[in-house]
Amino acid sequence: MYKLIKIDGGVCAADGFYADGISAGLKAENAKDMAFIYSENMCAIASTFTTNKMAAAPIRHFQNRGEFQTNFVLINSKNANAMTGKAGIEDIEAILATLPSTVSNPVMSSTGVIGVRVPKEKLIAGAKLFDLSKREPNAAAAAIMTTDTFSKQIAYKVELADGSSFHIGAMAKGAGMINPAMATMLCFITTDADVNKEEMQKHLDKNIAFTFNAASVDGDTSTNDTVMLLSNAKSGAYNATAFSEALYNIMRFLARQMVKDGEGATKLVTYEVSGAKDDKEAEIVAKALSNSLLVKTALYGEDPNWGRIASTVGASGAEAYEEKLTIAFNDLCVYKRGELYFDAAMERKASEVMKLDEFTIYCDLGIADGVFTAFGCDLGHRYIEINADYRT
């Protein structure tokens, strides 16, 4: 048996981890734009990166290093260091070379505008402001934000039956370029659990499919998508089942927070698909719904246009039949296996559901036992404004 206890602390919740955020002058008005995560001990690293073929320089720099451990992650916002070629890699190496001697095998992660070289001198000067003894997770989480309207953090203490315990905490950023295709955002997870890289990678790969890979804001996959899971093993404690559950809870929470904070979004919608031929077909349908522009705009207009739901299911490529499909908004069934329930009274009730900040759309395909849950949001005028003016 074990117990999961939600705690404060974000990436500093685990023993031996430190973090802070500062302003290096990349953002206007002295806003925080540069962060670090530092561990007293060297850390095993599990990771997952974008499926975008134009992966940014920090990802290529990481992947070119082979097997290694680290005790330091440097993160900047405002500039993605993507599509910058060999020079982008060289800029990373120049910045990391200036870090203190207590830092070993540092790695870098970036987010922001694509196609512009990082302001290397500003980042070097900014890194000199770091105080590696600071535990300021709120500042670190704020510094990695781009179009986010709020920071995203969570942490757990895991108490095991033998009296031992470990901690796991995280911070993430993401509001746009969010698509179910790996992990469309930045996320940094720290733990003092005594777990090796192979075990961590197994847990990360298993849980990502139902969390970050199930999240969509706009259907676009970034060049910089990164998830890093770091363990310094300081607690000496570990339980595989407890670790996996805590990790899942953290990743699911952050995935939903990113969708909730989708650029211009006003509502978080869960798509629960059941009765598909198999789980993969259910996943296809759920992701088609979470990515559909027609569905998203109907959500924004608070229009219970269930016909768009049915049409998207039918266009998804998964096996589906009109006479077997059931659609419901929360507990309000609007269509059931060929029978129309959508009269004027039903439409009024469905419209009230659509006004909620969070609700669930259920689709039962009525074929077999396949299930999948995806997370999406609406799409409105503000999304266009943010992205039309993104560089300015």
What dihedral angle (degrees, nearest 10) is formed by the CA atoms of 277, 281, 282, 284? -160
CA-to-CA separations, 45 to 48, 88, 196, 257, 345, in angstroms, rounded: 10, 23, 8, 24, 55
Whole-angstrom distance, CA of residue 78 vs CA of residue 378: 25
Is the Cβ–Cβ distance between 50 and 226 less than 8 Å? yes
* CA distances to 130, 253, 302, 350 from 343, in Å: 62, 36, 17, 10
SS3 154: strand
Lookup result for tokens 């979004």: 265
What are the Cα distances from residue 79, in Å, to 24, 26, 109? 12, 8, 10
Determine how many CB atoms are found less than 10 A away from the CB of residue 120: 16
Contact at 8 Å (CB) between 212 and 251? yes
Report how far residue 31's alpha carbon sits from residue 263's, in angstroms, rounded to the nearest whole number: 19
Give the list of residues 6+ apart from residue 14 with CB closer than 8 angstroms, or none: 155, 166, 167, 168, 169, 190, 191, 192, 232, 234, 235
To which residue do tokens 């509001």 refer? 175
d(CA 58, CA 81): 7
Catalytic residue among 146, 184, 270, 326: 184
**Is 386:176 a contact under the CB 8 Å cutoff?**
yes
184 carries an active-site annotation: yes
- The DSSP H or E segment spanning 187 is strand 186-191
**Contact (Cβ atoms closer than 8 angstroms) between residue 218 and residue 250:** no
Beta bridge mates, 339:
336
Provide the pairing of β-strand 2-7 with 17-22: unpaired
Q: Active-site positions? A: 184
